[in-house]
Amino acid sequence: MHKLLILIATLAVALSTQASRYAELPASLDGSMSLYDFAAVESPAIPDSLTPVRISYIARHGARYLTSESKVKSVEKALRKAQERGSLTRAGRECLQLMQSVREATAGQWGMLSPIGKEQELRLGREMAEDYSSVFVKTGAGVKGVSSYVPRVIETMDQFFISIADTIVGIPTSASSGKEFDPLTRFFSSVSEYADWRHSGDWHEVYDSFAAATLPVEPAKRLVSDKSGMTDAELRDLSYDLYKVLQGLRAMGLEPPTTQWMSADEYRRCWEATNMQKYFQYSLSPLSTVVPRGASAVLFHLLDVQNSLLSSADPQPGLEGIFGHAETLLPIFALLGVPGTTALPLDYSSLASEWSDAVLTPLAANLAIVYSRAPSGTYYASMRLNGRNVSPVNDPSKMQVSVAELQAYWLNRYLQLLPAGK
């Protein structure tokens, strides 16, 4: 019995020592798979003299499982090939086990909201109802929205609306989804000029050069050893594919990625590469204005909402939502000039210090444009980005602006982004 206790104690110490060998990698480097930071949410900054009456809400889906098994399969394929060559290391065998854990945790739910994502939306809906009760309490108030046809986005809208309806009992809700709403939710694929830019724009040369110089080979080498016969390009691809799996672990509810797989510096370098790719594909850059112009249908939709507000003597308050993807929000941010969402670096190597997909579009990211009424009848707009108060016209001294001033600001930006001669 004494020997058994000693053996158990020895095993416990060994397991504890092994666990402590690794440190958790920074969550801020999960990029577009970063979780929404509820701790950073601020109280609405609306003066008591103004009464919120309507909200335009643009949101990304909540936390999800990996969209497909493609990256898992890619990592597994490279490791199996190394195994056949006899170059798979112990770390490589453990990585295969990790891939299997991801498969088991996902269990056929590729791309679907995870339990974390559902909880995010329920919390966001509840806080929206509590923070802006005046928008929902009048007779006839309601919430309506449209979403991308993708299931995780539909479920995001449904969970968000259910939570508002649970908080404000009896409030009417209306939710629609489908490809007919692509001009508002998936213009990044439905607008041909923009789709061409995403797939074959001039940004590729800049990005490819940066990725080749930035992506690390070391994480892959630790999995397949120096005897794998893989080229540096293949090793970089394996490291990058591994990152694409690791960055999603927290959102799936699995154990977070650790230095067992990458150092913090290696993890950061992988994030910097994917961050740059998203910047060129989904934001305003010195290379082209096609991205924000692709979101013009959303701009004119928002202007129609504002015009209906201004033309009604007693407008019915409510919330109207557009639910999509990170690829939906980022171009809209650039077009509307949302503070902190655009960067025009002279040196692209410094982009990560100026523009971050993790900050701008974490899972469950949202932009709320809140319209309030003054006793005089004048309507004002305020703006919240991921729960933080920002200026609607990118001027910190103006946190509340008249709807007329906001319209002028948006239209001026739009005209500046148009190609010469249009």
Q: What is the pLDDT of residue 4?
A: 43
Cβ–Cβ under 8 Å, residues 159 and 62: yes
- Looking up tokens 């980022």, which residue turns up? 330
What's the full length of the chain, in residues?
Answer: 422
Give me the residue spans of the domains in the chain: 28-64+112-211+264-417, 68-110+217-261
Q: What is the pLDDT of residue 1?
A: 46
Sign of CA dihedral 380, 131, 158, 39: positive
Virtual CA dihedral for 302, 307, 310, 315, nearest 10 degrees? -70
Strand 366-373 versus strand 51-60 pairing type:
antiparallel
Query: What digits encode the pLDDT tens for the residues 191-239?
Result: 999 999 999 999 999 999 999 999 999 999 999 998 888 999 999 999 9
How many whole angstroms separate alpha carbon 191 and alpha carbon 197? 10
How many whole angstroms separate alpha carbon 135 and alpha carbon 144? 13
How many whole angstroms separate alpha carbon 186 and alpha carbon 194? 11
- Looking up tokens 């809208």, which residue turns up? 157
Q: Which residues of 125-153 are buried (b: 16+ CB within 10 A; e: fewer)?
A: bbbbbebbebbbeeeebbbebbbbebbbb
**In the predicted model, is pLDDT for residue 324 greater than 70?**
yes
Q: Which residues of 75-94 are buried (b: 16+ CB within 10 A; e: fewer)?
A: bbebbebbeeeebbbebbee
How many whole angstroms separate alpha carbon 405 and alpha carbon 337? 14
How high is the mean pLDDT of the chain? 92
How many whole angstroms separate alpha carbon 282 and alpha carbon 225? 37
Query: What digits encode the pLDDT tens for the residues 127-144?
Result: 999 999 999 887 667 999
Of the candidates 330, 335, 338, which has an alpha carbon nearest to the alpha carbon of residue 394? 338
How many whole angstroms separate alpha carbon 381 and alpha carbon 372? 6
Sign of CA dihedral 208, 213, 216, 217: positive
How many whole angstroms separate alpha carbon 214 and alpha carbon 240? 11
- Both tokens assigned to 251: 């959102």
Least confident of 6-10, 247-251, 278-282: 6-10
Query: What digits encode the pLDDT tens for the residues 282-314?
Result: 999 999 999 999 999 999 999 999 998 888 755
Query: What digits encode the pLDDT tens for the residues 333-383?
Result: 999 999 999 999 889 999 999 999 999 999 999 999 999 999 999 999 999
Q: What is the pLDDT of residue 226?
A: 85
**In the predicted model, is pLDDT for residue 17 greater than 60?**
no
- SS in 3 state form for the chain? CHHHHHHHHHHHHHHHHHHHCCCECCHHHCHHHCECCHHHCCCCCCCCCCEEEEEEEEEECCCECCCCCHHHHHHHHHHHHHHHHCCCCHHHHHHHHHHHHHHHHHCCCCCCECHHHHHHHHHHHHHHHHHCHHHHCCCCCEEEEEECCCHHHHHHHHHHHHHHHHHCCCCCEEEEECHHHHHHHCHHHHCHHHHHHHHHCCHHHHHHHHHHHHCCCHHHHHHHCCCCCCCHHHHHHHHHHHHHHHCCHHHHCCCCCECCCCCHHHHHHHHHHHHHHHHHHHCCECCECHHHHCCHHHHHHHHHHHHHHHHCCCCCCEEEEEEECHHHHHHHHHHHCCCCCCCCCCCHHHHHHCCCHHHHCCECCEEEEEEEECCCCCEEEEEEECCEEECCCCCCCCCCEEHHHHHHHHHHHHHHHCCCCC
Of the candidates 262, 363, 332, which has an alpha carbon nearest to the alpha carbon of residue 32? 363
**In the predicted model, is pLDDT for residue 388 greater than 50?**
yes
How many whole angstroms separate alpha carbon 84 and alpha carbon 66? 27
Predicted TM-score (pTM) of the model is: 0.92
CATH number for 28-64+112-211+264-417 (one of 3.40.50.1240, 3.60.20.10, 3.30.910.20, 1.10.3720.10): it is 3.40.50.1240
**In the predicted model, is pLDDT for residue 8 greater than 60?**
no
How many whole angstroms separate alpha carbon 344 and alpha carbon 183? 26
How many whole angstroms separate alpha carbon 55 and alpha carbon 384? 11
Least confident of 10-19, 86-95, 172-181, 354-363: 10-19
How many whole angstroms separate alpha carbon 77 and alpha carbon 95? 12
Q: What is the pLDDT of residue 422?
A: 53
